[in-house]
């Protein structure tokens, strides 16, 4: 299995500001993803973080709002830009390893926008 | 159509009893994987168990087992000998492996079932 850490674990931010969330994996992984979980809801995929190239975004999510970087096979960042209260969610990093069909999540970042 | 359906918003079980959480799925992909995750109030998603569509036997992991009925497209989670620490939200998820127009590796989640274990 992969051990995944996320920073920060939680934050309270003001409307209009931006927050960058980091995801670090203890081993090289083939695929990394970012999900959002709004309060009381299920998880929704934001984008696939591609190593060395632009992320692939799902319908309803755009790069200007959620820029993503993945400089190597163990690290990725997600920025939530120009935040509004609707962005209050748990943001989760997920990885898929090449040697297993299992898929793991980081501990999540709980974001509150006031 | 929803790819994952969890029809039980909440379930209650007494400690030490077994409980079954329902999950049905919808896909035309011949190769797919089914997952169950536990989400305590802390928000982390804890991987519990995985079943591949070509696996002949039901997956088991300790007290967790997955009752995989391919013809009925169901993948129910069975928790044996429930413990107070099992109280959490449980999500069923599916990944389609052939990538026919959908994001490779993407997980589709159900709405979850809130399990409460009482003493």
In tens, the pLDDT along B29-71 reads 999 999 999 999 999 999 999 999 999 999 999 999 999 999 9
Band of the pLDDT at A99, cuts 50, 70, 90? low
Band of the pLDDT at A100, cuts 50, 70, 90? low
Which residues in chain A have Cβ-Cβ distances shorter than 8 Å to B52?
Answer: 101
What is the percentage of chain B residues whose pLDDT exceeds 70?
A: 97
The set of residues, in sequence order, having a beta carbon less than 8 Å from that of A37 and lying 6+ positions away, is: A43, A44, A89, A90, A91, A92, A108, B43
CA distances from A72 to A2, A47, A51, A64, A66 (A): 16, 16, 6, 22, 19
Residue B27 has pLDDT above 90, yes or no: yes
Q: Between chains, do B103 and A48 touch, taking CB under 8 Å as contact? A: yes
Mutate to test the interface with B, among A103, A106, A109, A112 (most CBs of B within 10 A): A103
Minimal Cβ distance to B110: which of A42, A102, A106 = A42
Which residues in chain A have Cβ-Cβ distances shorter than 8 Å to B3?
Answer: none
Average pLDDT over chain B, rounded to an integer: 94
Q: B85 by DSSP, 3-state: which?
A: helix
- DSSP structural state of residue A3: -
The pLDDT of residue B101: 66
The pLDDT of residue B100: 67
Spatial distance between the Cα atoms of A86 and B7, rounded to a whole number of angstroms? 27
Minimal Cβ distance to B109: which of A43, A104, A106 = A43
CB proximity A96 to B under 8 Å: yes
The nearest CA of chain A is from the CA of B47 a distance in Å of: 6
| pLDDT tens-digit readout, A27-71 | 998 889 999 999 999 999 999 998 888 899 999 999 999 999 999
Residue B99 has pLDDT above 70, yes or no: no
């Amino acid at each position: 299995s992969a051990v995944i850490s996320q920073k920060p674990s939680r934050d309270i931010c003001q409307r209009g500001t931006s927050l960058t969330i980091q995801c670090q994996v203890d081993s090289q992984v083939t695929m990394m993803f970012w999900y959002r979980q709004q309060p009381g809801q299920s998880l929704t995929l934001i984008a696939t973080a591609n190593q060395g190239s632009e992320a692939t975004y799902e319908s309803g999510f755009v790069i200007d709002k959620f820029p993503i970087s993945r400089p190597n096979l163990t690290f990725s960042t997600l920025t939530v830009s120009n935040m509004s209260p609707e962005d209050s969610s748990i943001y989760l990093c997920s990885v898929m390893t090449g040697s297993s069909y299992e898929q793991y999540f980081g501990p999540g970042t709980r974001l509150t926008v006031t | 159509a929803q790819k994952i359906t969890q029809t039980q918003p909440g379930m209650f079980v007494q400690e030490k009893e077994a409980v079954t959480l329902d999950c049905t799925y919808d896909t035309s992909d011949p190769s797919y994987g089914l997952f169950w995750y536990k989400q305590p109030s802390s928000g982390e998603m804890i991987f519990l168990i995985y079943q591949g569509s070509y696996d002949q036997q039901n997956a088991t992991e300790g007290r967790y087992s997955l009752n995989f009925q391919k013809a009925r497209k169901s993948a129910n989670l069975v928790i044996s000998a429930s413990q107070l620490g099992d109280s959490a939200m449980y999500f069923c998820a599916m990944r389609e492996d052939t990538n026919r127009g959908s994001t490779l590796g993407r997980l589709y989640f159900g709405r979850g079932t809130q399990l409460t274990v009482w003493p």
